[in-house]
Amino acid sequence: MVNFIIYMDKKIYIIGCGPGAKDLITLRGKKVIKEADVIVGSRRLIADFGRKSGVRTLVLENNYQNVLEDVDRLKGIQRVVFLVSGDPLFHSLGERIIERFGSESCEVIPGVSSFQYAFCQIKKSWKDYRVFSIHGDKGMDISKIFKENDRFILFLDPGHNLKFIKSQIGSIPKGKYRFYVASNLSMPTEKMSGISFVDFDNFPEESLSLLIVRREDE
């Protein structure tokens, strides 16, 4: 999922813009972007959402602290937009922005979440699912997640992937399971695959994916 944060009249707007595809951004999000004087984000996100004449761009790489300090000087003077990947407040830079500038200074405008989009693709409801992230190694007990939850979503990364999950739980807990792997959601290279536990060892994963797990009655 992609998000934006804008400073306008000393207000910070955090805007969720979907899992990646440009046409999933909300009309409200588009309007806010058009009013920006400064756009901050990764090179890809600036290329996708931040191209407009007369706008200053700041590229986010490994310079988050420096950029936040720059924005601190700019807010209230120029209208600043942060382009943020992922769900606005789920393991996202949006959390860090709110912590830095305070909730009273921020407004969150949501968009389509990546897992919402994924469930729409497999035509299933996600109403009883819990969401976990092991992206960046959150130190979570994977075995405990499997034992205590019948339906859940796991956000993965290249090092904490399907092979990692299988190494953590050893063998699949008792019960009948359905697994779906989703990657590059809403993009031309999107993949949605139903797999078995045996496939965890050799499934060709993308760099960032999510795993949907559903345990069903025998």
Q: What is the pLDDT of residue 65?
A: 87
Residue with tokens 């760099």: 207
Q: What is the pLDDT of residue 173?
A: 67
Q: What is the pLDDT of residue 150?
A: 92
Q: What is the pTM of this model?
A: 0.84
Q: What is the pLDDT of residue 99?
A: 92
Q: What is the pLDDT of residue 195?
A: 92
**Strand ranges across the sheet with 56-59:** 56-59, 38-41, 80-85, 2-8, 11-16, 106-109
Q: What is the pLDDT of residue 212?
A: 96
DSSP3 helix / strand / coil % (the chain, rounded to 5): 30, 30, 40
List, for the chain, all residue ranges whose pLDDT scores fall below the cut of 70.
1-9, 137-138, 173-175, 217-218
Structural domains in the chain, CATH included, are 2-112 (3.40.1010.10), 115-216 (3.30.950.10)
Q: What is the pLDDT of residue 4?
A: 65
